[in-house]
Amino acid sequence: MEVVIVEDAAKGGALVAQAIARLLAGRPDALIGVATGSTPVPVYEALAALARRGEADLSRARVAQLDEYVGLPPGHPESYRSVLARQVLEPLGVPEGSFLGPDTAGDIRAACEAYDRALAAAGGVDLQLLGIGTDGHIGFNEPCSSLTSRTRIKTLTERTRADNARFFGHDVGQVPRHVITQGVGTILEARHVVLLATGEAKAEAVAATVEGPLSARCPSSALQLHPHATVVADEAAASRLELAGYFRRTFAGKPPWQGI
């Protein structure tokens, strides 16, 4: 696992956006797995800036959803499908037909299985962008999720619902209890997994991800099993890493052409 410590969220966003632009330069129709929430916003903003300058072309890119709330009415502004339309598809010029996501309207179990099949049929995810929950979830794989899990329905912890209440007028009662999420095993099939973490609230989870034991108690620790996993953390999120000095020296000595 590579750990890159950046000054702040904007620098992290720029670094990840460059990695996506570089991937697209070599493979214009790459399948990019996208997360929602606050953390990836600087990535999407930096990517939009690169696209405006002609340094990233997303016109042939394909985009795959990581997770989705269950139970919100169709078109709800906080459904992740709506959020991704606002933050990714529209500003980055990704055609609607290039979007892959689970169908939450009908038979949920069938939709989850169909989504895993659709990801595989699309050739698999080239780069999966992840945030991290304060409890160590990736996607919405809450603590004690199987590390080999597939896309399925999950129940959010009360901590995650409280964390996400800010998107629902600070009313935790409005936050859905159930979600569909790519499983940990599904996520690990992406060719490159990039986890971005920003802010002090993520410091404990980042330390558990990188330096803790491999354990379903902290689902993000499964990234230790991935041959190409990159954790990009700002100073605050990296503040509990015992090996921070080593990670800083390693990245500083890396030739720029190598990227992340």
The catalytic residue positions are 67, 135, 137, 142
Residue nearest to ligand F6R (CB): 131
Look up tokens 């090996």; give the residue.
243
What's the token pair of residue 243?
A: 């090996």
Nearer to ligand F6R, 45 or 55 (CB): 45
- Report the C-alpha gap between 32 and 190 in whole angstroms: 9
Out of 20, 138, 194, 210, which residue is the one contacting ligand F6R (CB under 6 A)? 138
Q: Strand 152-155 vs strand 178-181: parallel, antiparallel, or unpaired?
A: antiparallel
Q: How far is the CB of 12 from ligand F6R (least distance, A)?
A: 12
Residue 209 as a binder of ligand F6R (CB under 6 A): the answer is no
- Strand runs labelled E in 7-137: 31-34, 62-65, 67-70, 99-100, 127-130
What contacts 4, CB < 8 A, 6 or more positions away? 15, 230, 231, 232, 233, 247, 251, 260
Distance of CA 93 to the CA centre of its chain: 20
Nearer to ligand F6R, 18 or 39 (CB): 39
Look up tokens 């698999």; give the residue.
124
Q: What SS3 class is residue 143?
A: coil
Nearer to ligand F6R, 38 or 248 (CB): 38
Nearer to ligand F6R, 57 or 198 (CB): 198
Q: How far is the CB of 83 from ligand F6R (least distance, A)?
A: 8
Nearer to ligand F6R, 36 or 209 (CB): 36
- Residues binding ligand F6R: number (CB under 6 A): 14
* Nearest Cα to Cα of residue 240 among 184, 185, 201: 201
* Nearest Cα to Cα of residue 24 among 65, 52, 59: 59
Interacting positions 15-74 with ligand F6R (CB under 6 A): 35-39, 66-67
User: x/- binding map, residues 139-178, to ligand F6R, per CB under 6 A?
Assistant: x---------------------------------------
- Report the C-alpha gap between 155 and 175 in whole angstroms: 11
Q: How far is the CB of 131 from ligand F6R (least distance, A)?
A: 2
Nearer to ligand F6R, 4 or 35 (CB): 35
Q: How far is the CB of 161 from ligand F6R (least distance, A)?
A: 11
Query: Which of these ranges, 45-53, 100-108, 137-145, 231-239, lies near ligand F6R under the rule CB under 6 A?
Result: 137-145
Query: Which amino acid makes up residue 152?
Result: R
Is the distance from CB of 197 to CB of 205 less than 8 angstroms? yes
Interacting positions 75-134 with ligand F6R (CB under 6 A): 80, 131-133
| Residue ranges binding ligand F6R (CB under 6 A) | 35-39, 66-67, 80, 131-133, 137-139
